[in-house]
Amino acid sequence: PGFSAPVCGGGFVYVLGSAGVLACYDSQSGERLYRERLPDAATIVASPWIAGDELFILDEKGTTFVVRLGKLFEVVRTNQLDGIYWATPSIAGNALLLRDARKLHCIRA
């Protein structure tokens, strides 16, 4: 897949390439359900993460793509942070830690 690690959730396995191509597989059968490119994604090094029924993907330019878990490819929203992001975010309790090239962000629910 490139740099990032696959992630599993909701009966699916998601594999993300560094060029922003996301593939979704059925976790039981291994059947590929889709292979789609995230719109306008920069290079992606960080691994994606899952919260609830959504998959989060952070590109190196600070855009987070939120994809609904499921058989169909659907970007439900995007968010933007300033900075350059190469590190995989960490989750600690109700906090999301995002490290860019110069600073650490903490987002709490």
Place of tokens 């691994």: 47
What is the Cα–Cα distance from 30 to 72, expressed in whole angstroms?
A: 16
Q: What pLDDT is attached to residue 94?
A: 92
What is the Cα–Cα distance from 74 to 14, expressed in whole angstroms?
A: 13
Report, as an integer, the average pLDDT of 80-94: 94
Per-residue pLDDT of 11-59, as tens digits, reads 999 999 989 999 999 999 999 999 999 999 999 999 999 999 999 999 9
Rounded to 10 degrees, the C-alpha dihedral 60/64/28/34 comes to: -80
Bridge partner residues of 26 (DSSP): 12
Q: Percent of the chain scored above 90 by pLDDT?
A: 95
Q: What pLDDT is attached to residue 81?
A: 94
Rounded to 10 degrees, the C-alpha dihedral 11/15/16/17 comes to: -160
The model's pTM: 0.94
pLDDT-based confidence at residue 1 (cuts at 50, 70, 90): low
Q: What pLDDT is attached to residue 79?
A: 95
